[in-house]
Structures are given as structure tokens and as C-alpha cells.
Amino acid sequence: ITQVTKGIKISVQTSFEGTFFKNYKMHYAFGYTITIENQSKDAVQLTSRHWKIYDSLNDMETLDGEGVIGKKPVIQPGDSHTYNSGCLLTSPIGAMKG
């Protein structure tokens, strides 16, 4: 999945990491890789994140925080920043938006 807004290209790759039991419930682990590419003429800084995680069996969960993976990268024109993370769902189907 790729989206470009105001010269910033965001690309996402997802992967299914497996299942396990936690608190007597089956959980489905998903990983994702986010690449942020600066196609604009100006340097940009990633200062915060906002995710909405949808699980087909539960309500939406909202996650907000500073930076990503403890960093607030400055991305120069033509450069990119890539990071990996993941989430747990209680169903095999879900979605993220942010």
C-alpha cells in the first residue's frame, strides 16, 4: 500500500507473524514495515504518530505517541526513514489507519 500526500510518500508492507494464547484467548500477531520517503523540496520531521487499529471481533483501539520507535527522524529531500513494528489482534482479520 502506498500513499503520497504533500510530497511525502508512505509505503506499508504487512506480514502475519503467527498465533499464540494470551489470557486464555487466541491472538494473531501482525508485523508491518513503514517507509516514509520525502519527495518534497523541504526537510520534514516525524514528531508524532496516530493509529486506529480495527479488529473484526472488537472495538477500535487508538494509539497516539511521540515519534516512532523512540525516534523523531528528520527526513531530508530525497531521503527516507523505515521502521518496523507490530500489533496483536484477537481475530485473524483487522485493519490499521493512521
Cell of 45: 520531521
Half-sphere exposure of 94 (CA within 13 A, CB side): 27
pLDDT exceeds cutoff 90 at 13? yes
In whole angstroms, give the CA distance from residue 32 to residue 83: 8
pTM value is: 0.87
Q: Write out pLDDT tens, residues 25-68.
A: 899 999 999 999 999 999 999 999 999 999 998 779 999 999 98
CA dist 24 → 21, 27, 60, 90 (Å): 6, 9, 21, 11
pLDDT, mean over the chain: 93
Is residue 65 within 8 Å of 48, Cβ to Cβ? Answer: yes
CB 87 within 8 A of CB 16: no
